[in-house]
Amino acid sequence: MISSPTSPVASEFTGASGAEPAPQTPGTLRAIWARFRTDRLATAALVLLSLIVVICIAAPLTSPHDPLATEAVNRLAPPGSPGHILGTDGEGRDLLSRLIWGGRVSLLTGIAPVLIGLVVGGILGLVAGYAGGITRTLIMRCVDVLFAFPAVLLAIGIAVTLGPGTRNVIIALAVVLVPSVARVTESATVSACSQEYIEAARASGASGLSIILIQLVRNVASAPLAYSFSIIGPVIVFAAGLNFLGLGIQPPDPEWGSMLYTLHNSLLLAPFTSIVPGIPIALAALLFDIIGNAVRDVLDPRLA
């Protein structure tokens, strides 16, 4: 009276038929790859961004001049001057070289806080969402305290307290990001935990840690990942702002934001030159945003 083992014919509607092999993954990576194949704008953005990143990383090779070398006779040379494609700054230093070297710092201070925020915020959100009860209340209320501060003031406050330097800018920004990531993750975790498969996991006798790592993370990761991608652009701008205020990198080391500051005095004297550092900031933010949108659409279409 047992029905025969089911034939390989799959779902009954317009989905997979028996003839095709069933697709292997709802594969996040595969889906992202597929999306980039069709979305030309996102692919172009990815290529361009990769180019910028590679150029900046390979600064010792790609930079035409020493970014710290001054040339007193050639200050504020306009773009197109011989030997200086983008011109020079107030001290006669080649702008292009400073942009390339400075890019390393700017990109780092854009991406690193997001990564740290993702990891720390993600862990907090997961633990809070899964454990529930007092643990959740405690974690989320602490997170809320941070959240209550306006981001800019909080970042500035932390950076000032910790002192100058790139590392402290990264820390300050990471602290600002953690609450948002934690909230997004906690909300996704709570909703995943209300599903029966988590109840089934609890009923299996597995430890809480293995449930979180094996069952929850893969269901919950898309929300904070999508959020993180979308925030890299603004964080680069934010970091540039902090550097602009003199909180991070110290002169004469180049960085896009601090370069904008040092040049802003020369706005009337050499208008093109003084806005040059602003271009890569805006461009990087834009490119990350485009890529982030595409990734977000794939990971969590509901957020769109």
Partner 1 sequence: MSSPNGGAALLSVRGLHTQVRNQRRTTTVVDRATFDIGRREVLALIGESGSGKTMTALSILRLVSPPISIAGGEVWYQGQNLVRLPEDAMRSLRGRQIAMIFQNPRDRFDPLQTIGDQLVEVLLHHRVARGRREAEDRAVDLLAEVQLLDGGRVMHLYPNEVSGGMLQRAMIALAIAPAPDLLIADEPTSALDVTIQSEILDLLKDLEAARSMSILFITHDISVARQVADTVAVMYAGQLVEYGAAAEVFANPRHPYTQALLASVPSPDAEILHPIPGQPPALSNPPPGCRFAPRCPSAAQHGRALEPPPVVTVDRVSVRCWLYDPGGA
Partner 2 sequence: MSADALVSAHDLVKKFPARGGRSGEAVVAVANVNLELVRGETLGLVGESGSGKSTVGRLLLRLLRPDAGTITFDGHSLERLGTRAMRGLRPRMQIIFQNPYSALNPRMTAEEIVGFNLRPLGLAAREHRERVLAAIRLVGLGRDFLGRYPHQLSGGQAQRVGIARALVSSPDFIVADEIVSALDVSVQAEILALLMDLRARLRLTTLFISHNLSVVRYVSDRAAVMYKGRIVETAPTRLLYRSPKHPYTRLLIHSVPGAQADTDVVGRERDREELARELKEYPADSPLVEIEAGHWVQSPNGSHANPQVSP
User: Stretches 181-189, 215-223, 267-275, 277-285: which one binds partner 2 (CB under 8 A)?
Assistant: 215-223
* Strand, helix or coil for residue 94: strand
Helix 151-162 vs helix 222-244: angle between axes, to the nearest 10 degrees?
60
Closer residue to partner 1 in complex, CB, 17/50? 17
HEC assignment per residue over 197-248? HHHHHHHCCCCHHHHHHHHHHHHHCHHHHHHHHHHHHHHHHHHHHHHHCCCC
Of positions 152, 206, 209, 303, contacts partner 2 by CB under 8 A: 206
Could you say whether residue 203 binds partner 2 (CB under 8 A)? yes
| Chain mean position to CA 231 | 5
In the region spanning residues 139 to 168, those forming contacts with partner 1, defined by CB under 8 A, are none
Closer residue to partner 1 in complex, CB, 18/83? 18
Q: What angle do CA 269, 265, 93 make, to 5 degrees?
A: 80
Q: Which does 14 bind (CB under 5 to 8 A by kind): partner 2, partner 1, none?
A: partner 1
Q: Burial code of 269-295, b = ≥16 C-beta within 10 A, e = fewer? A: ebeebbebbbebbebbbebbbbbbbbb
> What is the number of other CB atoms lying within 10 angstroms of the CB of residue 117?
25
Is the Cβ–Cβ distance between 235 and 113 less than 8 Å? Answer: yes
* Strand, helix or coil for residue 255: coil
The one-letter code for the residue type at 134 is I
Of positions 80, 218, 269, 279, contacts partner 2 by CB under 8 A: 218
**CB of residue 226 to partner 2, shortest distance in Å:** 15
In the region spanning residues 13 to 52, those forming contacts with partner 1, defined by CB under 8 A, are 13-19
Residue 292: both structure tokens together: 């982030």
**CB of residue 137 to partner 2, shortest distance in Å:** 15
Of positions 17, 204, 250, 265, contacts partner 2 by CB under 8 A: 204
Closer residue to partner 2 in complex, CB, 25/161? 25
Residue of 17, 12, 28 lying closest to 222 (CA atoms): 28
Could you say whether residue 210 binds partner 2 (CB under 8 A)? yes
Helices and strands, number each (H, E), in the chain: 14, 0
From residue 8 to residue 47, the character string flagging contacts with partner 2 as x (rule: CB under 8 A) and all else as - is x-xxx--xx-----xxxxx---------------------
82-87 long-range contacts (CB < 8 A, ≥24 apart) are 86/273, 86/276, 87/270, 87/272, 87/273, 87/276
Could you say whether residue 10 binds partner 1 (CB under 8 A)? yes
Q: Which does 219 bind (CB under 5 to 8 A by kind): partner 1, partner 2, none?
A: partner 2
Q: Which does 17 bind (CB under 5 to 8 A by kind): partner 1, partner 2, none?
A: partner 1
Could you say whether residue 144 binds partner 2 (CB under 8 A)? no
**CB of residue 232 to partner 2, shortest distance in Å:** 25
Could you say whether residue 133 binds partner 2 (CB under 8 A)? no
The residues binding partner 2 (CB under 8 A) are 1-6, 8, 10-12, 15-16, 22-26, 195-197, 199-207, 210, 214-215, 218-219
The residues binding partner 1 (CB under 8 A) are 1-4, 6-7, 9-19
